[in-house]
Structure 1
């Protein structure tokens, strides 16, 4: 196997602490962000807000086009002759199909998806009708548009950018050509060795790590507020900082332990547990909840999603309010772009021995469909209870209180309080699976291979929880500022992803030729 001479035996065995440039720049950003928060919170918010607004206004359409092209090209590769190529020069998969799919479902969009599943569809139903639909708010005609818009945000395009093409590039580059399992490898076909060593490569990797830190600390922090709020409503516990900190300690202990134990133990175990729990909750909602309403709503919403797919995917500020695009479609798409390179590393790592077609269809088709079903079960139930007057989330969602929405919908479901507790546990474990997979993947970036040291995995897992705790202590607004910063980090990260539009298909065909499937 061709390789890079600087990757020593110690590095391949995972005994090193990582690239000093990646570590220095990434940790430096964390300390700078926290330091500026302490020095002048208002200044930090103004700087981040200005960058957020500029990016959303001028680059939103570019982000949308990147996601759309990634999805279309990935599907084309899946149905091409190269779709039969095995990824990673491994003849048999490392894990069963169920375990593989469980990890995919629980570590990609899981944390954010669970947080928004109940609230976003209800928001589009009672607070602001999506621009692609003109139904009157709160009416039966508004149901399909509310769900369809949520499907657009969390569906095919969102999942595709998390590994549909980039995983092909990384699997071929690392497992066939021996190149580092790092984001910089995505730029090797464009810049060659210049981007593989020293400061240039360190900057590329660090930018991707920073984007994921910003994207992961947010869900971790918001989970703490959600669980604390739930504990207050359900059990009368305080929902102050002490309770939030206790949640962070428990959550951090779970996902750090999982990340340290590795993909084949903790990460896999948590993912399987969460899938089973989600299936049980989904079955209870479907069987004992508003079954006919949910089936009808899903059928109509899926039709509206597919029928209006291109118009929603390409909608800009010319046809939609600036604020709406900024806080919804562009924000979400930028968030997913920021996750793109590191998620691709993780997908490449767990998909060895799978065919190109299996990987693409699992990520770009199966996972989005499962996501739409989950959003219908929770969000559709919320719409049903809002429609018949059982709950009223209009005021809470106007203030973007999605923690209130999740708990309110959960309590209105069959078995009320028990379902609320189950959904809080589910949300906690979903965020934990995001935390463990990202701790593991950031460690892969630091080390350049798929067996990072235990120390590195533990360090990054603890760092994410500590940063969330510090920002929560300063106020939930600091978590929001960090979330907004995701949109800014999407600018450089999108440029790292861009070459995969053509290098992804080339990597698939290179693997297919190596395996004698095509000439």
Structure 2
């Protein structure tokens, strides 16, 4: 059996002693980006915001359809592979899974979409309830608008989003690393197309750097926004000062948690945080369902899921020709580009934790089971918000029109059974969810530099600290600059989409290669 360490060391791109912090090209470009972004933001914040905003708008208008098509093809091709004979092949040449099923599912749920899902779960369905999505013609803020509102949220956080993050690309990486002995790096996604050249040349370093920058941009945002959300929540609930100092304390605690988790590794801290979060989420979900508007939530989920299925292609293929530019830019294209930017490093993490799993169970867990869990969570939290908005108990129209999702989350949480206690529990849940994203991405970035799945613990800590420091500096300038960084991930999706594009055909080829090697197909 090819072991992980021997696979990595056998690669022609194996790291040298200089590479403890990663490939020099990756390190220079990534740290250069962080320093440049912070420097220009301090010197010319308005110029930075304008340039990124214009690039953001151009990308959404001209490449949105490409992003949508990429996600659609990824989902359907992945499902075809899962249902084929090759689906029985196991990743990593292990006879049984390396990680238990519950712990494996917990890490998937808490890592891939958890941070963003928790931020948007309460507010997004309510937003689509008070502002009718362009695909639908229902009157806003009426009973008829409930199902379309949930369906639109399901589109953004459902099947397509999950599939692109961890299906076909994970197959390419698992086959290349565990079977062929290639490094566990984003550049390896292009190995089936370009061969050894992409692994050994500076171009491979640029590929890795682009993917790391995309994840840094996408992770620093939730880390920074969590600090502002927690500071606001603690002020509203318990009267603590809502200040930059409070945000720094929250940021320090959060960074300490996820850095400690990343240092302890996959089998300890990351698993522990994920399991704790899943249990806490199940407890909160049970309380909401039993003591909240149970019948409304049940009916809303069924009607919302029905609308999601019947309007799936209409929502997935809506373009700026049929929807306002601002809506496409801030909703469908923004989310799809965000997920694309995360894909290479998420796929590295999925390939790492799924060793010994069959291709079928890996794809079905990521592309079906996880989206179902996500839609249920959005219904419980966001559906409750819709219920309270419809009944007049709360009014989030003004807050959501200003995209104040921290206000929406806290307002909905306080209206739920348990009031202040429930709000505090959801704030804790949000914090741990973001911590699981921070630890897994710190680990994944360290793996990019090492080229294998056991990077030095100090390297994991280094990247976790770098993202926390970046968030702290940007928060000093105001949360608006964090938002500018979030927009930047849409720009990073342009090169990253080209990096993952070949997986549409190399993913199935990798699956069948593993199946043939294991004697499952001829």
Aligned length: 515
Q: Which among 306, 313, 329 is matched to residue 310 of structure 1?
A: 313
Partner Cα separation in structure 2 for residue 52 and residue 417 of structure 1: 38
Note if contact 2:172-2:506 (Cα within 8 Å) is conserved in structure 1: yes
Q: Which runs of 5+ in 2 are unaligned?
A: none
Tell me the equivalent position of 2:11: 4
Q: Deviations over 1:276-296 (max 9, x none)?
A: 000000000000000000000
Shift in Å, 1:7: 2.1
Shift in Å, 1:10: 7.0
TM-score, scaled relative to structure 2:
0.97
Tell me the equivalent position of 1:200: 203
Q: Quick one: structure 1 residues 439 and 166, their matched pair in 2 at CA, closer, same or farther if it must change by over 3 Å? A: same
Q: Which among 109, 112, 133 is matched to residue 113 of structure 2?
A: 109
Note if contact 2:12-2:199 (Cα within 8 Å) is conserved in structure 1: no
Note if contact 1:21-1:198 (Cα within 8 Å) is conserved in structure 2: no
Tell me the equivalent position of 2:290: 287
Tell me the equivalent position of 1:372: 375
Tell me the equivalent position of 1:25: 29
Q: Which among 183, 186, 195 is matched to residue 186 of structure 2?
A: 183
Q: Which among 283, 295, 301 is matched to residue 298 of structure 1?
A: 301
Tell me the equivalent position of 1:42: 46
Tell me the equivalent position of 1:483: 486
Shift in Å, 1:193: 1.9
Tell me the equivalent position of 1:60: 64
SS at match of 1:72: helix
Q: Quick one: structure 1 residues 8 and 155, their matched pair in 2 at CA, closer, same or farther if it must change by over 3 Å? A: closer
Q: Which among 383, 388, 398 is matched to residue 385 of structure 1?
A: 388
Q: Deviations over 1:249-280 (max 9, x none)?
A: 00000000000000000000000000000000
Partner Cα separation in structure 1 for residue 32 and residue 16 of structure 2: 29
Q: Quick one: structure 1 residues 401 and 9, their matched pair in 2 at CA, closer, same or farther if it must change by over 3 Å? A: closer
Note if contact 2:90-2:355 (Cα within 8 Å) is conserved in structure 1: yes
Larger CA deviation: 99-108 vs 195-204: 195-204
Shift in Å, 1:16: 2.5
Shift in Å, 1:234: 0.4
Note if contact 2:110-2:433 (Cα within 8 Å) is conserved in structure 1: yes
TM-score, scaled relative to structure 1:
0.98
Q: Which among 148, 151, 154 is matched to residue 154 of structure 2?
A: 151
Partner Cα separation in structure 2 for residue 269 and residue 9 of structure 1: 32
Partner Cα separation in structure 1 for residue 144 and residue 13 of structure 2: 62
Q: Deviations over 1:7-37 (max 9, x none)?
A: 26979xxx92321111111000000000100
Q: Which runs of 5+ in 1 are unaligned?
A: none
Q: Which among 413, 426, 429 is matched to residue 429 of structure 2?
A: 426
Tell me the equivalent position of 1:361: 364
Q: Quick one: structure 1 residues 28 and 9, their matched pair in 2 at CA, closer, same or farther if it must change by over 3 Å? A: closer
For the pair 1:404 / 2:407, whether they are aligned, the reply is yes
SS at match of 2:491: helix
Partner Cα separation in structure 1 for residue 449 and residue 17 of structure 2: 14
After superposition, residues 215-254 of structure 1 pair within 5 angstroms as: 215-254=218-257
Partner Cα separation in structure 2 for residue 9 and residue 396 of structure 1: 52
For the pair 1:516 / 2:493, whether they are aligned, the reply is no
After superposition, residues 257-268 of structure 1 pair within 5 angstroms as: 257-268=260-271
Tell me the equivalent position of 1:499: 502
Tell me the equivalent position of 1:456: 459
Q: Deviations over 1:190-223 (max 9, x none)?
A: 1112211241111000000000000000000100
Q: Which among 305, 317, 322 is matched to residue 319 of structure 1?
A: 322
Note if contact 1:52-1:484 (Cα within 8 Å) is conserved in structure 2: yes
Note if contact 2:71-2:160 (Cα within 8 Å) is conserved in structure 1: yes
Q: Which among 413, 416, 419 is matched to residue 416 of structure 2?
A: 413
SS at match of 2:69: helix
Partner Cα separation in structure 2 for residue 198 and residue 455 of structure 1: 26
Report the RMSD for the aligned CA atoms in angstroms: 1.1
Q: Quick one: structure 1 residues 8 and 456, their matched pair in 2 at CA, closer, same or farther if it must change by over 3 Å? A: closer
Partner Cα separation in structure 1 for residue 155 and residue 320 of structure 2: 17
Tell me the equivalent position of 1:86: 90
